[in-house]
Amino acid sequence: MQKAPFGTWISPINAAAVAAGERRLEWASFVGEEVWWTELRPAEAGRSALVRWAPDGSVGDVLGAEWNVRTRVMEYGGRPWLPLGADPTAGFVFTEWVDQRVYRVVPGEEPEPISPEPARPGGARYCDFARVGDEVWCLREESVGPHVADIRRELVAIPLDGSASTDATAVRVLGRSHHFMTGPKVSPDGHHVCWLGWDHPTMPWDGTELVCASVDSEGKLGSVRTVSGGEGVAVQQVEWAPDRPGVLYLLSDPDGWWNLYELDLEGAARPLCSRAEEFGEALWRIGAQWFFPVGGGRLLVTHGTARRQLAVLEADGSLKAIDGGEQYTEWAALATDGRRVMATAGGPRHHRALLLVDPGRDMPVTDVLRAASTRYVQYLSPGRHEIFRSDEGEAVHTFVYPPYNPDFTASDGELPPYVVHVHGGPTTRSQLVADLSIAFFTSRGIGVVDVQYGGSTGFGRRYRERLRGNWGVVDVQDCATAIRGLVGQGAADPRRLGIRGKSAGGWTSAASLIAEPDLYRVAAMYYPLLDPEGWSEGGTHDFESRYLDGLVGPWPQAAERYAQVSPLRGADRVQTPFVLFQGLDDAICLPNHTERFLERVSDKVLYAYITFEGERHGFRRADTLIACLEAELSAYAQAFAFDTPYISTIDLIHGPSADAVGR
């Protein structure tokens, strides 16, 4: 073991390794005995490939490299594909990223479009499909005006014979209940359909309505009626019981936690397992699922607070844990065939693996579909869940990753630099799972504290709503509480602290530099929200265009409040060096907002502004991810005064005359 200053430790985890490990597995389904899912490919320009696993253990792509299975619905996407039967020979439908049209695939043939070509490129987007006879029903999102927020959503039926590809009138409009809707859930007998809906300014985690309608013999919907949810109740998922006509299961929080309920068509609800835990997450993407009915009143679920466990919720309300071993502390269920469940699982020292689980077996984990990489495991920091307390006594949940490298130890008496990681959302959460983007820093001797600040999910509605009307305050204070707590423990060097965040995390990072000018020495901001006033005046996409009504206050009534917390308004008070990354195709946090922020930064402040052609909100391409991590590390090295001879130095330039470095 070598002795060297923190930050200078040599690590095999380079930026290219991090980019290669960004393999997001999601949108899964059983197709007969096979399992299919989508998989992010940073090395292939960030495309989403459709992948299949066969019982003989073989794994391969379903479509050629020219196809990208991904939808732009609500910009964050949704469930983009559907098998058309219980066997691969039935084929499937999917949304193609480039033109956003729906394609049908018959085995042995090339994909053919079945939705019409929109008037403007990508102007009609589809997701969350259900097969009903010779049609596929889904949610359609259409651009109806010149602005990015001019959107209409409705449930539609697309004929599978391809007739609508050249005749838009062949698409049947089924109905529209709210401005925002999920896709249709059709009952097993085909007599009813239900979905979730909500309207501005409510966000889906604030309150949604579960609505149902009858379906007649011609496939037309009857009158729509609300059977659950409403103001202050956020239903996030609904499913039909597979073997009990007229019975629904839903994920809802009337008691402040996302628990599971049984519901009949008259709206009578029965709690299935009341716990101060979450059985689901916030509905950011249409078609997301966290539980699966498997018949007999049983459900496959994930549950917990700071972690998630996989379990069977029995008909009597008891939970039967599925123990996959001590390495798995964070589970996410993806699909079921009624007997088995496909899930991802990982832990602080274990990367996520894709598993096929049979709960009925003594040893439930039966197959590993995508094995977790064991490379670099010895360099992973032993992360832990730790709670700090604010001055008011509020709990602040964090995941702490100390510096760790088995080949190095620190110089005598030296305290490590630490970086606060602020997740996006803000109504989301991080997971205590091996993450190479964190190990990239910890294996070099830079600690990371991942703060689940007030507003994060996982800890009930009260914790989530601590941020209501206080964005830019509570999140900033909770981050400061966490990092000061580590300093107070003697675990972090108070002179070498940084902060980093993406999207909403970028907002908190910028706001922290203004509110805490003496705390942080450097910041890294990825596609941040910086101009709340411009955002609320039509400066973002439709889904989040009224988000700040809850986070800051109604616009324009709360204009004074917006001015107080605006990073743009406070840009001239920033004294700390920073690096800022922006995708030039971002429709959520617009590049011109970032540029206005930089125009106001004092010419005494050092910063780098790096832009990326072709990147949207949330970077996906390998070369982008590599450039960002190396630039971020370079910024930390300059701020914390250590050398990185194996990383190119990014020039920090005095603003506001600094030009963007295009990539």
**What CATH number corresponds to the domain at position 6?**
3.40.50.1820
Q: What is the pLDDT of residue 363?
A: 64
Q: Is residue 555 part of a domain?
A: yes
Average per-residue pLDDT in the chain?
A: 94
- Please indicate, yes or no, whether residues 461 and 518 belong to a single structural domain of this protein: yes
What is the residue type of 619? F
pLDDT digits (tens, 9 = 90+) for 399-446: 999 999 999 999 899 999 999 999 999 999 999 999 999 999 999 999
Q: Phi and psi for 139 in degrees, rounded to 5?
A: -90, 130
pTM value is 0.95
Of the listed ranges 206-215, 561-570, 635-644, the least confidently predicted one is 635-644
Domain boundary among 176, 206, 223: 176
Tens of pLDDT, residue by residue over 61-109, are: 999 999 999 999 999 999 999 999 999 999 999 999 999 999 999 998 9
Quick check: 646 pLDDT over 90? no
6 lies in the same domain as 153: no
> Is 469 in contact with 551 (CB distance < 8 Å)?
yes
What pLDDT, on a 0 to 100 scale, did the predictor assign at position 23? 81
Q: How confident is the model at residue 394 (pLDDT cuts 50, 70, 90)?
A: very high
**Block residue for tokens 């899964």:** 28
Q: Are residues 524 and 548 in the same domain?
A: yes
Residue 403 sits in the same domain as residue 432:
yes
Higher-pLDDT residue of 235 and 375 is 235
- Shared domain check, 152 and 7: no
Rounded CA-CA distance 1/156 in Å is 63
Assess whether pLDDT exceeds 60 at residue 14: yes
Distance (Å, whole) CA 554 – CA 395: 28
**Bond before 656 cis per omega within 30 degrees:** yes
**pLDDT above 80 for 647:** no
Residue 339 lies in a domain: no
Do 8 and 111 lie in a common domain?
no
Confidence class for position 256, pLDDT limits 50, 70, 90: very high
For residues 75 and 584, give the distance between their C-alpha atoms in angstroms, rounded to a whole number: 15
pLDDT tens profile 44-68: 999 999 999 999 999 999 999 999 9
Among left, alpha and beta (phi > 0; psi -120 to 50; other), residue 524 is: beta
Q: What is the mean pLDDT of residues 274-290?
A: 98
Sign of the torsion angle spanned by Cα atoms 618, 24, 71, 427 = negative
Kindly state whether residues 34 and 148 are assigned to the same domain: yes
Note the pLDDT of residue 182: 98
**In the structure encoding, which two tokens stand for residue 644, read together?**
């990185």
**Residue 512, Ramachandran bin (φ over 0: left; ψ between -120 and 50: alpha; else beta):** alpha
pLDDT of amino acid 188: 96
CA angle 527, 306, 509 (to 5 degrees): 25
Residue 252 lies in a domain: no
Is residue 530 within 8 Å of 563, Cβ to Cβ? Answer: no
Residue 201 preceded by cis peptide, ω within 30: yes
Containing structural domain, residue 103 = 23-176
Of 166-170, 274-278, 600-604, minimum mean pLDDT range: 600-604
End of a domain among 156, 176, 196? 176
9 and 105 in a common domain? no
| Residue 157: CATH number of its domain | 2.40.128
Percent of the chain with pLDDT over 70: 98
Average pLDDT over residues 601-627: 95
**Residue 189 confidence (pLDDT) above 60:** yes
- What was the pLDDT predicted at 655? 56
Q: Does residue 547 share a domain with residue 488?
A: yes
Q: Please check whether residue 439 lies inside any domain of the structure.
A: yes
* Confidence (pLDDT) at 411: 87
**Is there a domain that residue 467 lies in?**
yes
Confidence of residue 650 (pLDDT cuts 50, 70, 90): confident
pLDDT at 274 > cutoff 60 = yes
- Are residues 75 and 7 part of one domain? no
* Tens digit of each residue's pLDDT (9 = 90 or more) over 494-513: 999 999 999 999 999 999 99
**How does residue 662 score in pLDDT terms, banded at 50, 70 and 90?**
low
- Give the mean pLDDT of 583-593: 94
- Above 60 in pLDDT, residue 658? no
- Is residue 156 a part of any domain in this protein? yes
In a domain, 47, yes or no: yes
Are residues 10 and 77 part of one domain? no
Peptide bond into 111 cis (omega under 30): no
Evaluate whether residue 42 is within a structural domain: yes
* Helix (H) or strand (E) run with residue 140 in it: strand 135-143
**Domain closes at, from 176, 200, 231:** 176
474 lies in the same domain as 446: yes
Compute CA distances 550 → 158, 262, 358, 554, whole Å: 36, 30, 42, 7
The total number of structural domains in the chain stands at: 2
